[in-house]
Amino acid sequence: MTSTDAATDHSRVVEKDRVVIRFAGDSGDGMQLTGDRFTSETAAFGNDLSTLPNFPAEIRAPAGTLPGVSSFQLHFANYDILTPGDRPDVLVAMNPAALKANIADLPAGGVLIVNTDEFTKRALTKVDYQTNPLEDGSLEQFSVFPVAMATLTRGALADTGLSKKDAERSKNMFALGLLSWMYHRPHEATERFLREKFARRPDIAEANILAFRAGHAYGETTEAFAVTYEVAPAPLPVGTYRQITGNTALAYGIVAAGQVSGLPVFLGSYPITPASDILHELSKHKAFNVTTFQAEDEIAGVGSALGAAFGGSLGVTTTSGPGISLKSETIGLAVSLELPLLVIDVQRGGPSTGLPTKTEQADLLQAMFGRNGEAPLPIIAPRSPADCFAVALEAARIAVTYRTPVLVLSDGSVANGSEPWRVPDAATLPRIEPGFATEPNAPDGSGTFWPYLRDDDTLARPWATPGTPGLEHRIGGLEKADGRGVISYEPDNHDRMVRLRAAKIAGIPVPDVEVDDPTGDATLLVVGWGSTYGPIGAGARRVRALGKRVATAHLRHLNPLPENLGEVLARYDTVLVPEMNLGQLSLLLRAHYLVDAKSYTKVSGLPFKAEELQDLFLDYLSGVLV
């Protein structure tokens, strides 16, 4: 661990168990970078944390406007937390637009740090502020700290020779320095980071470091800030930790799957928000025998991955909802070919182009049923950023073992959010056995190869790759004869093959669903999947803290569903399913189990808030909702 600053003379130190900070500014203000760095400092300090970046789809929306506001929220605590926090305790607003877009979320008494330099008449008018909120008394309920960040940054960089404009660009690092001081964050890593990030422009690196230090010194030497805060490290389980985003964890899971299976990894992908970072990450790791192919379109992304799988690679494609729509036919082919394939869908707001940078989980039914014919495949969803690693490995294990495409349903909040991750011991990761076919297998003694002769246990077919003598065979999207695999239009054969493919997927063993029911006598069961894990868990904690009882269950495997799920659902008087869609999982549960699953839905592009779910659960417990 790096050192933290001792409390300074003038300020009083207050212990807190948790804090939520939101950095908000213009898209060009570097708020994501600022948030990322504060997160890294916080992770290095040993707090538990969870983050929620929120940015527009436009790269540079018009400056100073509401649509151009970009924010980064970070929740950190001295205990294990589940969500990025409902509302900020501290809001850093770099301009009037950021203030206007975010102030409604700041509770009364909250800390508001404002960059006053941007509160010009012109900037205020741009977002329809008739009067300056810093002067008209409208912010009285908050603890407001006006700081002329641009001016102070410029002053700190006066000797660098940088132009006024260039100097002001570092004001986000001034803000970071100030907050780092206020929360006793270690800062060596940030200075190192800046030196590396701007290695080719040492003058810019130095400017950013100077601004960062100036922000820190400003907090320390001016007497504006009477209080600094300490949030002690969280007592997490023993181990080595790092901070990780969902997309990075997913990429690492894919690299690890290649290593533990001994298979070369081939990623065929077309850039799409919010999945592109997986492509970026994997493209760095060629040393792990990872090949990345930026295809001409989504269809070629999945097609090339399937071709690579035919050749014996671990074929992977990454995309978001619109890309899944385009890939559907090829995924259907993979179902018919029965080849291993990983399909990663980082869900975003839909339909169509929808909300590219916002989160949603409305692709579940598309994943389940979005192909022609009966084309079932396994579906797994990570519950949090760090969980993406294990989910990717699990998806690869199922794909290879059962010779099937597997769909992973991540989402925007998981992909871009981050949290501490207890790094696994790479040496103990379980092996994945490709088990390539090497010998003819015809049961008729003909010495020929039957590509669709199935394993008795798994119903998986042999994976025979080109180059293997004696196993030459042809496969395709036309229906194949059971066993021999030659084209067959025979009615009974098709009926058998459709059922065999379904039985293979239905028979994949998945762990029983675990119910969190601390008192064992709750009557309300809340079922979630994917990224609702955090808010549901946090909402349940709050309800339990009020002395009420609620049970929760989280589904990692959406297809097949855990074997004990029907029995679990039947145990509770009320089954409630909060989802970021219009009720897709509840539809499945109702269909599968004839259970009267209640649906609670939201599609605002943002995750559920713990408070909102707490209120929902209380309404069900009190009978306001039934």
Partner 1 sequence: MTALDLGLPTAGGLDGVPTTSEKQTAKDFTSDQEVRWCPGCGDYAVLAAVRQFLPSLGIKRENTVFVSGIGCSSRFPYYLNTYGMHSIHGRAPAIATGLAVTRPDLSVWVVTGDGDALSIGGNHLIHALRRNINLKILLFNNRIYGLTKGQYSPTSEEGKITKSTPFGSVDHPFNPVSLALGAEATFVGRAIDSDRKGLTAVLEAAAAHRGTALVEIFQDCPIFNDGSFDVLRKPDTAAERLVPIVHGQPIRFGPTGDDGLGAYAVVREGFGLRVAKAIEVDESEIVVHDGADHNLAFALSRLSDQDLTHTITGIFRNVARSTYDDAARAQVQHEREVRTPDLQALLNGRDTWTVAG
What is the C-alpha separation between 266 and 290, in angstroms, rounded? 6
Paired strand residues for 410: 346
> In the window 172-231, what residues touch partner 1 (CB under 8 A)?
189
| Among residues 259, 325, 441, 564, the one that binds partner 1 under rule CB under 8 A | 259
| Among residues 303, 322, 370, 417, the one that binds partner 1 under rule CB under 8 A | 303
Query: What is the biggest distance separating any 2 CA atoms in the chain, rounded to whole angstroms?
Result: 91
Q: Please, which residue, 244 or 368, has the CB nearer to partner 1?
A: 244
Q: Please, which residue, 306 or 524, has the CB nearer to partner 1?
A: 306
Rule CB under 8 A: is residue 434 a binding residue for partner 1? Answer: no
What is the C-alpha separation between 492 and 233, in angstroms, rounded? 64
Q: Please, which residue, 474 or 571, has the CB nearer to partner 1?
A: 474
> In the window 538-557, what residues touch partner 1 (CB under 8 A)?
none
Q: How far is the CB of 292 from partner 1 (least distance, A)?
A: 9
Rule CB under 8 A: is residue 430 a binding residue for partner 1? Answer: no
Q: How far is the CB of 462 from partner 1 (least distance, A)?
A: 13
| Among residues 239, 262, 447, 518, the one that binds partner 1 under rule CB under 8 A | 239
Rule CB under 8 A: is residue 313 a binding residue for partner 1? Answer: yes
Number of Cβ within 10 Å of residue 502's Cβ equals 14
Rule CB under 8 A: is residue 299 a binding residue for partner 1? Answer: yes
On whether the CB atoms of residues 327 and 301 are closer than 8 A, the answer is yes
- Report the run of H or E that residue 502 belongs to, with start and end: helix 491-506
Question: Segment near partner 1 (CB under 8 A), from 38-46, 147-155, 173-181, 608-616?
Answer: 38-46
On whether the CB atoms of residues 110 and 86 are closer than 8 A, the answer is no
* Burial category of 594 from C-beta neighbours within 10 Å (exposed 0-12, middle 13-18, buried 19 and up): exposed
Rule CB under 8 A: is residue 307 a binding residue for partner 1? Answer: yes
Number of Cβ within 10 Å of residue 239's Cβ equals 11
> In the window 329-368, what residues touch partner 1 (CB under 8 A)?
329-330, 333, 337
Question: Segment near partner 1 (CB under 8 A), from 251-259, 394-402, 553-561, 595-603?
Answer: 251-259
> In the window 44-63, what residues touch partner 1 (CB under 8 A)?
44-46
**DSSP classification of residue 371:** S
End-to-end alpha carbon distance in the chain: 50
| Among residues 58, 135, 136, 296, the one that binds partner 1 under rule CB under 8 A | 296
On whether the CB atoms of residues 263 and 255 are closer than 8 A, the answer is no
Q: Please, which residue, 450 or 620, has the CB nearer to partner 1?
A: 450
On whether the CB atoms of residues 241 and 1 are closer than 8 A, the answer is no
Paired strand residues for 267: 292, 316
Paired strand residues for 575: 525
CA proximity to 345, closest of 314, 372, 323: 323
Rule CB under 8 A: is residue 431 a binding residue for partner 1? Answer: no
| Among residues 179, 306, 344, 391, the one that binds partner 1 under rule CB under 8 A | 306
> In the window 469-488, what residues touch partner 1 (CB under 8 A)?
469-478, 486-487
Q: How far is the CB of 466 from partner 1 (least distance, A)?
A: 4
